[in-house]
C-alpha cells in the first residue's frame, strides 16, 4: 500500500515488511559495533595513560632514593670529621674537669689591653669549646669560689676604675710595673701604691680600684676572683653614663649644671682598658703617689720578698693568714689580718719545682686549689672520684684541684716549673701528705 501512514503502522505495529526490516537490522548492527569500538578504545587509552603515569612516578621515586643515597655516601666520604653542617659534638676528656688551657682561649681585646678567662658561663653557647665548658661546669659544680683570668695592659694603659659586686680580687704581677689605686672605707680612704713582678695585690668586694701600667713593658697580671658564678662588675664610666643627666648634675653640682654633664660623650669603643691616642696631651708630669705603709699593706704583699719554704724538689712562698702572728713582721701582720677580716678571701703562693722535681701526693682539707703555669712544664696526677690519666701542663695553663682531691705535680722540662697557686680560704691551709699533716710555720 502506498499510504504512508499505514506503512508506518505496519512497520511499527501490525506486521513486518521483510525487505525493509532486513535493511533496518543491518543498519542497527553496524552502529552498535562502531559505538562499542569507540568505548573500548577510550577505556584502553585511559588505562594506558594511567599505566604511563604510574610508571613515571615509580621511576621518579626510585631515582630520588638512589641519588639521595649516593649523595649521602659521597658527602660522608668527602668531608673530614667535624666538617658537616651539624657535626656530632665530642664529649671533652675527663682531664678538662681539672685543666683549662687559658693561653689558647678567646682573647677579649680592648683599646689598652686584653683579657682571657677561665670561668663558668650560665649560657653554654658562650663557651668557645666543649673543653672550656667542662672546666667551667666543674668549678661551678664543686662550688670552688674561684675563677681565674689574665689581664694584659699595654704600656701606659689603664684598667679603668671599677668594682666587683660578688667577688674579692687577688692579683699577681707576672710582668711589668703598675700603679694601683684603691678607694675603701666608704670613700674615706684612698690608697695608691706601686707594684713590681712577683708581688700580690688584693681588692675587697665592692671596693673601687684601678690599675695603670707605668713601665716601658706591658703589664701582665694573673687574677683570681672569689666566685664560681659569673663575675658581676661595674665600671665608673658605665655608672656615670647610665645615670640620668639631671640626677648626675644634682649630685655632682658642676658649674654649668646639666649642660656641663652633656659635654661628656660616650665613645663607641669599650673603655674598660683604655689607652687614648692623645694621652700625652691629657696627662703631663704625672706623679704616682705612694700612700703610707700601714694603709698600703692592707692591699699589697711582697710575695717575692717573703720567707722561702724548702721542700724536697722545690720552694714555696706564701701570701696568707697566720693565726700565730708572733713571728710576723709588721707588713705581714697587716696583710694577714686584712684578708682574714674579709669574707671568702684567698691564700696565694708561688710554687717552684726544680727540673725533674716532684710535689709529692697530698690533698687539702679546707680549700680548693687553682694554679697557673708561669714558666716550665710538668705532669699532673689526680686520684679522685672520677678516673683521670696523668696529663701535661704548660705555660698559660690553669689547673684545679677540688677540696679533698689527692694530687701531685712533676716538673719534666729542663727549666724549673714555676706556678702561682690560689687556695679558697682566708684561714690557714690544712694539708695532708702521705698520712701526715704538712705544716708551714
356 dihedral zone (left: phi>0; alpha: psi -120 to 50; beta): left
3-state secondary structure of 305: coil
- Please state, in angstroms and rounded to a whole number, the distance separating the CA atoms of residues 152 and 142: 29
pTM for the whole thing? 0.78
- Please state, in angstroms and rounded to a whole number, the distance separating the CA atoms of residues 259 and 292: 39
Residue identified by cell 697557686 is 421
3-state secondary structure of 233: strand
Could you say which DSSP state residue 221 is in?
Answer: E
- Which of 181, 175, 138, 191 lies closest to 161, judged by CA? 181
Fold of 100-294: Jelly Rolls (2.60.120)
Torsion, CA 2, CA 8, CA 10, CA 16, rounded to 10 = 100
- Please state, in angstroms and rounded to a whole number, the distance separating the CA atoms of residues 114 and 152: 5
**Could you confirm whether domain 304-438 is CATH 2.60.40.10?**
no
| 304-438 and 100-294 share a CATH fold | yes
Return phi, psi of residue 118, to 5°: -120, 95
Return phi, psi of residue 33, to 5°: -65, -45
Q: Where are the domains of the chain?
A: 4-78, 100-294, 304-438
Tens place of pLDDT for every residue, the chain, 441 residues?
443 333 333 333 344 444 444 444 444 444 555 555 566 666 766 666 666 676 667 656 656 555 454 444 344 333 333 334 454 555 679 999 999 999 999 999 999 999 999 999 999 999 999 999 999 999 999 999 999 999 999 999 999 999 999 999 999 999 999 999 999 877 788 999 999 999 999 999 999 999 999 989 999 999 999 999 999 999 999 888 888 988 988 888 888 888 888 888 887 778 899 887 766 655 656 677 899 999 999 999 999 999 999 998 999 999 999 988 888 999 999 999 999 999 999 999 999 999 999 999 999 999 999 999 999 999 999 987 777 999 999 999 999 999 999 999 999 999 999 999 999 999 999 999 876 677 665
Listed in order, strand segments (DSSP E) in 165-213 are 169-175, 178-184, 189-195, 200-203, 208-213
- Which of 303, 112, 351, 290 lies closest to 202, judged by CA? 303
Q: Which value, in Å, is the radius of gyration of the alpha carbons in the chain?
A: 42
Q: Give the pLDDT score at 1.
A: 42
Half-sphere exposure of 435 (CA within 13 A, CB side): 0
Yes or no: say if 314 and 308 are a contact pair by the CB < 8 Å rule: no
Amino acid at each position: 500500500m502506498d499510504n504512508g501512514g499505514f506503512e508506518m503502522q505496519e512497520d511499527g505495529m501490525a506486521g513486518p515488511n521483510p525487505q525493509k526490516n532486513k535493511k533496518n537490522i543491518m543498519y542497527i548492527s553496524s552502529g552498535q559495533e562502531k559505538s562499542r569500538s569507540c568505548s573500548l578504545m577510550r577505556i584502553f587509552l585511559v588505562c594506558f595513560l594511567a599505566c604511563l603515569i604510574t610508571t613515571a612516578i615509580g621511576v621518579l621515586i626510585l631515582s630520588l632514593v638512589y641519588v639521595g643515597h649516593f649523595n649521602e655516601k659521597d658527602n660522608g666520604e668527602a668531608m673530614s670529621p667535624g666538617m658537616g653542617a651539624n657535626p656530632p659534638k665530642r664529649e671533652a676528656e675527663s682531664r678538662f674537669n681539672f685543666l683549662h688551657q687559658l693561653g689558647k682561649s678567646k682573647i677579649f681585646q680592648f683599646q689598652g689591653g686584653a683579657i682571657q678567662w677561665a670561668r663558668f658561663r650560665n649560657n653554654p653557647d658562650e663557651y668557645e669549646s666543649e673543653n672550656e665548658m667542662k672546666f667551667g661546669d666543674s668549678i661551678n659544680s664543686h662550688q670552688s669560689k674561684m675563677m681565674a683570668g689574665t689581664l694584659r695592659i699595654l704600656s701606659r694603659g689603664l684598667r679603668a676604675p671599677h668594682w666587683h659586686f660578688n667577688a674579692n680580687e687577688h692579683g699577681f704581677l707576672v710582668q711589668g710595673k703598675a700603679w694601683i689605686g684603691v678607694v675603701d672605707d666608704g670613700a674615706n680612704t684612698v690608697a695608691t701604691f706601686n707594684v713590681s713582678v712577683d708581688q700580690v695585690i688584693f681588692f675587697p668586694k665592692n671596693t673601687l680600684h684601678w690599675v695603670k701600667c707605668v713601665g716601658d713593658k706591658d703589664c701582665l697580671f694573673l687574677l683570681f676572683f672569689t666566685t664560681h658564678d659569673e663575675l658581676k662588675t661595674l665600671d665608673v664610666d658605665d655608672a656615670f653614663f647610665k645615670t640620668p643627666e639631671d640626677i648626675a648634675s644634682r649630685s655632682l653640682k658642676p658649674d654649668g649644671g646639666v649642660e656641663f654633664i652633656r659635654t661628656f660623650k660616650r665613645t663607641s669603643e669599650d673603655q674598660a682598658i683604655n689607652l687614648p691616642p692623645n694621652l700625652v696631651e691629657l696627662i703631663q708630669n704625672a706623679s704616682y703617689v705612694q700612700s703610707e705603709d700601714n694603709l698600703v699593706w692592707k692591699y699589697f704583699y711582697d710575695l717575692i720578698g717573703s720567707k722561702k719554704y724548702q721542700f724536697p724538689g722545690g720552694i714555696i712562698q706564701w701570701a696568707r693568714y697566720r693565726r700565730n702572728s708572733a713571728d710576723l713582721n709588721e707588713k705581714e701582720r697587716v696583710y694577714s689580718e686584712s684578708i682574714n677580716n674579709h669574707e671568702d678571701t684567698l691564700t696565694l703562693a708561688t710554687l717552684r719545682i726544680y727540673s725533674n722535681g716532684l710535689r709529692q701526693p697530698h690533698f687539702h682539707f679546707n680549700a680548693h686549689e687553682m694554679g697557673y703555669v708561669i714558666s716550665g712544664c710538668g705532669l699532673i696526677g689526680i686520684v679522685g672520684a672520677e678516673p683521670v690519666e696523668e696529663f701535661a701542663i704548660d705555660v698559660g695553663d690553669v689547673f684545679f684541684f677540688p677540696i679533698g682531691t689527692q694530687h701531685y705535680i712533676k716538673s719534666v722540662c729542663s727549666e724549673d716549673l714555676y706556678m702561682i697557686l690560689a687556695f679558697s680560704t682566708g684561714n690557714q691551709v690544712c694539708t695532708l701528705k702521705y698520712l701526715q699533716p704538712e705544716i708551714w710555720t
